[in-house]
Amino acid sequence: MKKQITLVSSMFVVMLAGLSGRAVAQSDTQTDNHQIIVDVPVVALLDLESATSKTLNATFTKPANDEAGEKIVAPVANNSIWLNYTSIQAGTTTKKVNVKASAVVAGVDIHLVAAAAAGGAGSKGTPTAGFNLTTTDQTLISDIGSAYTASGPTSGHQLTYTFLAADANYANLRSGQTTVTVTYTLADN
């Protein structure tokens, strides 16, 4: 009887081993898969770059040879500042760059123009024709999608500032120095 119990026990162990092997084998197939979750953040970054300084000095000068009856001489245009941005959209809404000045200078027009973007990739924005700075936001670049301009001076949109004491505003000119802060904002359209 002891031999039969041992034989039955041995067969039971062999059967369990066979069943456990089948249970694992039954879940395997010729194909399998897993998931990858890709997470891209919304991004809105803006920076002004210059090879020298972001502070511009716009100095009007007396007429040449101190000649009475002549108009003051405007400073040369300045195009040393570049606008860089990185933008990732959260849908179909595009972004824009708004610009405003902290103050206007009596009798002086500060005109701003942005060139087309140099460098980078994606749906970079479209510059407007330019405008004279005011204390309210004006759109300088529109229709920015998911894009980047690359970073640093010589990348992005080159900005050109020109300064004019127009005859129509000449009576408003006053001597002295005024500091104007120009603020750029990357915002949704």
Dist CA 56 CA 79 (whole Å): 10
Locate tokens 């009007």: which residue?
60
Q: What is the pLDDT of residues 55-91, one digit of tens each?
A: 999 999 999 888 999 999 999 999 999 999 999 999 9
Q: What is the pLDDT of residues 132-144, one digit of tens each?
A: 999 999 999 999 9
Alpha-carbon Rg of the chain, whole angstroms? 35
Q: What is the pLDDT of residues 29-49, one digit of tens each?
A: 899 999 999 999 999 999 999
Q: What is the pLDDT of residue 25?
A: 52
Q: What is the pLDDT of residue 18?
A: 53
Instruction: Give ∠ CA 180-185-189 in degrees, rounded to 5.
Output: 140
- Which of left, alpha, beta for 113 (phi over 0: left; psi -120 to 50: alpha)? beta
Write down how long the chain is.
189
Q: What is the pLDDT of residues 99-130, one digit of tens each?
A: 999 999 999 999 999 999 999 999 999 999 99
Domain ranges of the chain: 43-188
pTM of the model as a whole: 0.82
CA 51 and chain centroid, separation: 19
Amino acid at 185: T
Dist CA 53 CA 35 (whole Å): 49
Dist CA 49 CA 155 (whole Å): 9
List, in sequence order, every residue forming a beta bridge with 73; answer none if it has no partner. Answer: 61
Average pLDDT, the chain: 90
Dist CA 188 CA 148 (whole Å): 16
